Chain A
Amino acid sequence: MSILTVDSIVAGYGSMEVLHGVSLEVEKGQIVCLLGPNGAGKTTLLRAVFGVMRPWQGKVLFKDQDISGFPSESIAHLGMCYVPQEDNIFPSLTVQENLEMGAFIRKDDWQPRLEEIYGFFPDLTDRRKSRAGELSGGMRQMLAIGRALMLNPELLLLDEPSTGLAPFLVNQIFDRIKTLNEQGVTILVVEQNAQALQSADKAYILEGGEKQAEGSAQELLEDKEIGKLYLGR
């Protein structure tokens, strides 16, 4: 079942068009990877999907519901969560408070979920009272993802979770992503790092605001052309 369908999205900033009609589809239970170089429009696409930006044209369907143009505040209620690439935590709030904010719109008891998240990212447990702005890069990323997970999303959008992280941390993050997926969370992850392909089921390649390739992760990994052009091989 398709949990997310993006249909011919056109979007941009000011008068500059960045996405020229991009479509993609994410099946429930998958890890889908969106790859591409800097400036390809990957972040723009996630923003357009999550209502942080208004697309100029095109449609976004979440669980068959048309959510095109919905503001981000409402989308969080629907079962999708988004972790931006930058500015993805509340720096002056503590780790604990960041997670609490993640659960803000929940009406039920989210304490158990909080403990689960600490279990998932054990390094955060010792830093409950630390200001989020003082965390190291790796911890911040974990907190950012943890915040989004507080809502038990069905679909998680991740924008370059490995940015600026040391290789072993990158492995840790991708490892956590895989575990999440095994627990039933569908994931759409944007990356520049081709390593992401290895955990993914399906991938799209975006460049210059247009889809350049799509296919199963396996296919793309094996494709020599694509490897050369986009994956830095």
Chain B
Amino acid sequence: MAELIVYGIILGSIIALGSVGLTLIWGITELFNCAHGDQITVGAYIALIFTSLFARIGFLQAKVGPFSFSWGLLLSFIPAILISVVLAILIDRWVYKPLRKTGAHFMTGFIASIGVAWAMRGLIYIIWGAEFHFYAKGLRPMLFLPLGIKLRTDEIFIMVVAWAAVAAVYLFLNRTKMGKAIRALADNASLARVAGINTERMLIWTWGIAGVLIAIAGILYGIETQLRPEMGWIFLLPLFAAVILGGKGSITGALAGGIILGLAQQVSTMWLQPTYKPAVAFLLMILVLIFRPKGIFGRRKV
């Protein structure tokens, strides 16, 4: 049980990374981004491209300290993040922005984001096929902790990186002018505009943040498990659930929601088969929607 809780927190941290971006976008633009999961997949695979490339040319192949992956993977974080950010901004400019401009009903964006998701996933399938891929072959070093918990050293890395990213986002959103404007926009987009804040420009920054978190989430998930084309879609239901639990536009809520979802999913494997995890996420989501639709941490409307 203790082990499940630990894994739950690890998984939950990765979910939280995705949820923060999703809830920000949702809070500001009413778009519930169904492509978020697949964008995470793309982030992971971009890192794979570079990791494989480095492996091919024998560059930076030494393993990083006690972890299972190479320095090449660490370096691959950079292109993955950059490309993820650019991709997110471009997709918004070509797909969602036109919809905003023509005053489309929010479901139009929802369906469009589904189209984006499929297109991305199709591309991954075509380039890499349906098989599993890994960042690193070979042993995964383990730590043996009390209470019978076996932890991979990689998982320490994952936790540190995930929460460092969260901390960075937190600092940005709370200490910088741009960050506060983004929070203001997520709180009350109409009032932000009334105050003269340029929504489109802030949105680019927001997608930028989301893009960074997406890439990191993808790579961490790839390290934790493996890479496969549906990895992001599997994420999507827990992401949705986490964001709904946390309340629209609430970052603390998204973080808490992520952890709760991770825990709930892992702990559920005590009684249910692991493949039921998305169903568990969905159940939580439905319960919240029925009993507290604004989310457990939902912002109270003024």
Chain A positions near chain B (C-beta within 8 angstroms): 50, 52, 71-77, 81-82, 84, 86-93, 97, 100-102, 104-105, 132-133, 140, 147-148, 151
| Distance in angstroms between the alpha carbons of A97 and B196 in the assembled complex | 15
| Cβ–Cβ contact B181 & A101, under 8 A | yes
Min distance, Cβ B176 to any Cβ of chain A, angstroms: 11
Provide the residues of chain A in CB contact with B197, threshold 8 Å: 73, 101, 104-105
A93 touches B196 (CB 8 A): no
CB of B191 within 8 A of CB of A89, answer yes
Is A87 within 8 A of B190, CB to CB? Answer: yes
Interface residues of B in 163-216 (CB under 8 A from A): 177, 180-181, 183-184, 187-188, 190-199
Whether, in the assembled complex, B137 has its beta carbon less than 8 Å from a beta carbon of chain A, the answer is no
Chain A residue numbers with a CB within 8 Å of B56 are none
| Cα-based distance from A147 to B302 in the complex (angstroms) | 16
- Is the CB–CB distance between A102 and B195 below 8 Å? yes
Contact B196 A104 (CB under 8 A): yes
5 pairs from A and B in contact (CB 8 Å cutoff): A77-B196, A89-B302, A93-B183, A93-B187, A104-B195
| Residue in chain A with minimal CB distance to B249 | A92
In the complex with contacts A97-B180, A104-B181, A90-B194 CB distance below 8 A: no
Contacting pair A91 B194 (CB below 8 A): no
Shortest Cβ distance from residue B255 to the other chain A in the assembled complex, whole angstroms: 14
Q: Specify the chain A residue showing the minimal Cβ separation from B197.
A: A104
What per-residue 1/0 map shows which CB atoms of B262-302 lie under 8 Å from chain A? 00000000000000000000000000000000000001111
B302 engages A91 (CB within 8 Å): yes
Of all A-B residue pairs in the complex, the 6 with the closest CB atoms, nearest first, are: A76-B196, A105-B196, A90-B187, A90-B184, A101-B184, A72-B193
Q: A71-B193, A73-B199, A92-B183 are in contact. Are A104 and B302 (CB under 8 A)?
A: no
| Most chain B CB neighbours (cut-off 10 Å) among A84, A92, A151 | A92
Docked-complex contact B180 and A84, CB < 8 angstroms: no
Q: Say if the beta carbon of B76 comes within 8 Å of chain A.
A: no
| Cα A102 to Cα B187 with chains together (Å) | 14
Chain B nearest CB, measured from A94 CB (Å): 10
Partner pick for A50 among B177, B183, B194, B199, CB 8 A cutoff: B194
In the bound complex, how far is the Cα of B229 from the Cα of A14, in angstroms? Answer: 43
Are B187 and A91 interface neighbours, CB within 8 A?
yes
Q: Using known A-B contacts A92-B183, A101-B197, determine if residue A133 contacts B191 with beta carbons closer than 8 Å.
A: no
- Tell me which residues across on chain B come within 8 A of A105, comparing CB atoms: 195-197
Is B196 within 8 A of A92, CB to CB? no
A217 to chain B, nearest CB (A): 27
The answer for the CA separation of A100 and B184 in the assembled complex, in Å, is: 10
Q: Taking the nearest CB of chain B, how far is it from the CB of A88, in angstroms?
A: 6
Is B193 a contact partner of A73 (Cβ separation < 8 A)? yes
Chain A residues within an 8 Å CB radius of B250? 92
Partner of A133, one of B180, B190, B194, B302: B302
Given contacts A92-B299, A97-B180, contact A82 B187 (CB under 8 A): no
Q: How far is the CA of A199 from the CA of B297 in the complex (A)?
A: 42
Asked if residues B196 and A87 are in contact (CB atoms below 8 Å), the reply is: no
Docked Cα-Cα span, A156 to B206, in Å, equals: 31
Known: A92-B299, A133-B299, A140-B302. A87 touches B193 (CB 8 A): no
**Which chain B positions have C-beta within 8 A of A81?**
194
Establish whether residues B302 and A88, one from each chain, have CB atoms under 8 Å apart when the complex forms. yes
Bound: A223/B248 CA distance, A? 50
Instruction: Evaluate contact between A100 and B194: CB separation under 8 angstroms.
Output: no
**Considering only CB atoms, which chain A residue lies closest to B186 in the complex?**
A92
Closest to B301 in A: A87
CB distance from B202 to the nearest CB of A (A): 10
Give the distance to chain A from B248, nearest Cβ to Cβ, in Å.
11
Find B300's partner among A50, A102, A133, A148 (CB 8 Å cutoff): A133
Closest chain B residue, CB of each to CB of A83 = B194
Contact of A90 among B188, B193, B196, B199 (CB under 8 A): B188
| Minimum C-beta distance from B36 to chain A (A) | 22
* Residue of B193, B196, B199, B300 touching A91 (CB-CB under 8 A): B300
State the CA gap A84–B198 with chains docked (Å). 18
Interfacial chain A residues near B301, Cβ < 8 Å: 87, 91
A76 is contacted by which of B177, B187, B188, B194 (Cβ under 8 Å)?
Answer: B194
Chain A residues contacting B195 (CB-CB under 8 Å) are 76, 101-102, 104-105, 147-148, 151
Tell me the nearest residue of chain A to B187, going by C-beta. Answer: A90
* Identity of the chain B residue whose Cβ is nearest the Cβ of A105 in the assembled complex: B196
Known: A77-B196, A87-B191, A92-B299. 17 other contacts (CB 8 A): A72-B193, A72-B196, A73-B193, A73-B197, A75-B196, A84-B190, A86-B302, A87-B190, A88-B302, A90-B183, A90-B191, A91-B300, A91-B302, A97-B184, A100-B177, A105-B196, A105-B197
CA distance A73 to B183 in the complex (A): 17
A74, A97, A151: most-surrounded residue (chain B CB, <10 A) = A97
CB distance from A70 to the nearest CB of B (A): 12
